[in-house]
Amino acid sequence: MASDLWPGVRLHIVTGKGGTGKTTVASALALALATGGNRVLLMEVEGRQGIAQLFDVPPLPYDETRVAVAPDRGEVIAQAVDAEAAVLEYLRMFYNIKRGGTALKKIGAIDFATTIAPGLRDVLMTGKTGESVRRRENGQPVWDAVVMDAPPTGRITRFLNVNSEVGSLTRVGPIKNQADSVMRVIRSPETMVHLVTLLEEMPVQETVDGITELRESELPVGSIFINMQQPEELSDDQLSRDVPVSAAQLSSGLEAAGLPAAEPLVQALEEEGVGHAVRVRLQRRERERLESLGVPIVGLPLLDGVDLGGLYELAETIVAQAPR
């Protein structure tokens, strides 16, 4: 059973500019997809252990580890995909190398291989994800959905387009076959690449550029997650003015609340109103740019710190707004 959010999609790849909260959104998305009794695998491929910190659990191993229970007994299982462990697994699967793989690890051959051939690292990372999507037990998929906390937007197209990466490594053999298999999954209707952004000029521009690159490479674009949205406290009429709330209005409001209308306080509040208006106008302009891309948008609120409770709150917001 797949989730009824983003119908038909089983692999959700989450990317975004650094500082936009990509890992937070990926974790909340996994919780949202698990709602309703689904089993969701949340995969980390950058080695930062950000998922473990968010769910307040020990550092994730290469093995699959349950990190959260979603409403209606859904489960989020997390896994940190390490390049070294992926190489060893690859050697076991395709070359039946077991003890020899451990010896290669000891002499540093694995690090050497992934350093001189960076494309191999990406093939192994994406290959592990593709294997998780395809894995079945008793004829049924093991996972209702897989969420990958992927590299940043500036590297995502190259990371996913593994066929071009392995072209310089090999044109035949198991590595090429695995790359072809990965691309069949990534380019299938079961996959979407979601982008996380803030309503600020630089993150929005990187999102626009990222969507353009994904489309040019024929990679599937999913939704845009606007993270950390700040509330709008002023009316449209107030936003149209240079000074949204005048000193006289502020003084009157303070007095009505039984507070002293001291000039320094009134001036500070007036300046804060001007700054808020500038920020809201900027947010609206950047949102219009995103809306022009023709991609579904999910808006997430700014939280006062993100803990496990905050993740559940964000997950509820995603459930309410996600395409169905």
**Band of pLDDT at residue 7, cut at 50, 70 and 90:** very high
- Give the C-alpha separation, 290 to 310, whole Å: 25
Average pLDDT, the chain: 86
| Global model pTM greater than 0.75 | yes
Rounded to whole angstroms, what are the CA distances from 277 to 185, 243, 269? Answer: 45, 9, 12
| 144-155 per-position pLDDT tens digit | 999 999 999 999
**Band of pLDDT at residue 168, cut at 50, 70 and 90:** low
- Classify domain 11-230+295-321 at the CATH class level: alpha beta
**DSSP calls for 147-179:** EEEPPPHHHHHHHH-HHHHHTTT-SSSHHHHHH
User: Is residue 166 within 8 Å of residue 175, measured between CB atoms?
Assistant: yes
Tell me what the mean pLDDT of segment 117-124 comes to. 67
Tell me what the mean pLDDT of segment 52-68 comes to. 92
Kindly compute the dihedral angle of the four CA atoms of residues 149, 152, 153, 154, in this order, to the nearest 10 degrees: -150
Residue 101 has pLDDT above 80, yes or no: no
**Residue 127's pLDDT is what?**
79
**Residue 108's pLDDT is what?**
54
